[in-house]
Amino acid sequence: MQHNVLILDFGSQYTQLIARRVRELNIFCEIFPFDKIPEDLSSYKAVILGGSPFSVRSEEALHPDLSQIRGKMPLLAVCYGAQYLAHFSGGEVAASNTREYGRANLSFIQENELFLEGVSPNSQVWMSHSDSIKQLPTNGVRIASTKDVENAAYKIEGETTYAIQFHPEVYHSTEGKQMLENFLVKIAEVPQNFTPKAFVEEIVAEMKEKIGTDKVVLGLSGGVDSTVAAVLLNKAIGNNLYCIFVNNGLLRKNEFQSVLDQYKGMGLNVKGVDASQRFYDALAGLDDPEAKRKAIGNAFIEVFDDEAHQLTDVKFLGQGTIYPDVIESVSATGGPSATIKSHHNVGGLPDFMKLKIVEPLRMLFKDEVRRVGATLGIDPELLGRHPFPGPGLAIRILGDITPEKVAILQEVDAIFINGLKEHNLYNSVWQAGAILLPVNSVGVMGDERTYEKVVALRAVESTDGMTADWVHLPYEFLMKTSNEIINKVKGVNRVVYDISSKPPATIEWE
Ligand code: XMP
């Protein structure tokens, strides 16, 4: 992959957002922890320093080695970055007198390329800091202020170094993306050539080169990431890609067969393995959520290992890992670096885990995966599917799992999801599903008293699953869905709708 822009991470929650904005400009960028700067920077055209939860004045201040960067290539320092450049290069940073959090308006001190194009006078920006730059660094020239922040932006004379106290990457900085474009395109002259089509061409060539005539095995889940990864690998190595799609008996109604047919229709070399009974056996009698997850994970590894063993001479394991997982595993503040391997001691690894790994999507954000999928001609319905948890319906059946309970929940879930689609609500919901509760409630049907299961419906809005709000589905729709479920699904006599947000609740019930 071409190396264009380097973003140094100092642990800010906004660093990924900077990368996403840069990518939206069709510019390729990579995030590296502040202390893991690549040795060879010759292919990078610009560097951005991000924000940080730390103060440059504290003992914990993070010190990047900028000797290969400062004055040698265009540099944009954001928030902590701006304070860092000031504090350690002849300026001064001190605690702010006023709270500098929220919207502010810039006033420009002198004409500057960073703000020249597409940025209006009084441009609104977003501030989020508790330290202020009291004195600019050596050769620093103020280029913008706000009402409360005198040194809101500065440049360094004699260098292509710019520093801004505000966050251009958040939406509240209404022209922040334009400022990033001015820096990257006008000042640093970075090419805007990172498009889905260019990515496909480049990654397919890269995979061809890396894999050659060797074989790759890959587990398909029915989700967007593994599907797009498989189509890319298939484009690179054709039928030397062996896909395995496991039915764990916990998928949505009819999903195994319909998705398998879809995969075959896409020309993938795929084997469907119905291992439902093996999963039900592994789950028998378990009602603790984590125990269920562990049993399903282990059963999957066993089934996949058995299948992979039937293939000979496989050298690679394909995975649908995406960029947020990669960043998380190397984050500046030591985010969880847990990979699948760290859960197992190396001696005890199943054979397929000893294979070399290929991850064609490891540089892409989720929305980019969808765009690449669209470029590859993958069915938009498949690309637009709601996220579905790996343990499937097992964590939506509270308590122990039996095939009978799975069958009931599949029926309920199908009515709910099909209803959302029919009423054009599916695409405006981030994730939806039904939950089978471990309680019976009293009802009446005709002259009979019933004592049957309760199901909950859940539909949430979210961007990444980290936080979520319940969706205000129309009452009419809820009424219709509830009637249909109670009339059609034997064993269910009550439907409730979950109106909890995350936090403090979670999306799943287990
Ligand atoms: P929670 O319930 O934590 O869910 O708010 C956040 C997102 O993660 C999904 N989820 C899982 N996905 N294995 C998965 O692959 C799991 O064990 C698991 N638990 C939750 C959930 O569906 C939601 O999208």
Angle formed by the axes of helices 224-237 and 366-375, to 10°?
Answer: 50
C-alpha distances (whole Å) from 107 to each of 91, 104, 142 are 22, 10, 11
Tell me which of 29, 30, 100, 169 is the catalytic residue: 169
Q: Are strands 92-105 and 124-135 parallel, antiparallel or unpaired?
A: antiparallel
Amino acid at 297: G
What pLDDT score was predicted for residue 79? 95
Q: Could you confirm whether 29 is annotated as catalytic? A: no
Compute the distance between CA of residue 320 and CA of residue 148 in angstroms, rounded to an integer: 46
Contact (CB, 8 A) for 41 and 73: yes
Ligand 1 site-directed mutation target among 226, 507, 509, 510, most atoms within 8 Å of CB: 507
Contact (CB, 8 A) for 155 and 105: no
Q: Could you confirm whether 169 is annotated as catalytic? A: yes
Compute the distance between CA of residue 393 and CA of residue 385 in angstroms, rounded to an integer: 16
397: tokens are 């059946």
CB atoms within 10 A of CB 300: 20
What is the side-by-side strand order in the sheet with 5-9? 29-33, 5-9, 46-49, 75-78, 161-164, 153-156, 140-145, 107-108
Note down pLDDT in tens along the chain; length 510 residues. 677 999 999 998 889 999 999 999 999 999 999 999 999 999 999 999 999 999 999 999 999 999 999 999 999 999 999 999 999 999 999 998 776 789 999 999 988 999 999 999 999 999 988 899 999 999 999 999 999 999 999 999 999 999 999 999 999 999 999 999 999 999 999 999 999 999 999 999 999 999 999 999 999 999 999 999 999 999 999 999 999 999 999 999 999 999 999 999 999 999 999 999 999 999 999 999 999 999 999 999 999 999 999 999 999 999 999 998 888 776 655 543 333 333 333 455 677 778 999 999 999 999 999 999 999 999 999 999 999 999 999 999 999 999 999 999 999 999 999 999 999 999 999 999 999 999 999 999 888 899 999 999 999 999 888 899 999 999 999 999 999 999 999 999 999 999 999 999 999 999
What pLDDT score was predicted for residue 340? 35
**How many separate helices (H) and strands (E) can be counted in the chain?**
14, 19
Of all atoms in ligand 1, which is nearest to the CA of residue 462?
24
Ligand 1 site-directed mutation target among 463, 506, 508, most atoms within 8 Å of CB: 508
C-alpha dihedral (459, 462, 467, 472), degrees to nearest 10: -40
CA 411 to chain centroid: 30
Pocket (CB within 6 angstroms of ligand 1): 293, 387, 389-391, 431, 465, 502, 506-508
Main-chain phi, psi angles of 24, to 5 degrees: -60, -20
Contact (CB, 8 A) for 221 and 256: no
Q: What is the DSSP letter of 67?
A: T
220: tokens are 């398909």
Residue with CA at minimum distance from ligand 1 atom 22: 389
293: tokens are 């997850």
Q: Which of 235, 225, 251, 238 is nearest to 203 (CA)?
A: 235
Of all atoms in ligand 1, which is nearest to the CA of residue 431?
24
The 3-class SS string of 223-275 reads CHHHHHHHHHHHHHHHHHEEEEEEECCCCCCCHHHHHHHHHHHCCCCEEEEEC
Instruction: State the alpha helices, DSSP H only, in 442-505.
Output: 475-488
| Total-model pTM | 0.88
What pLDDT score was predicted for residue 466? 86
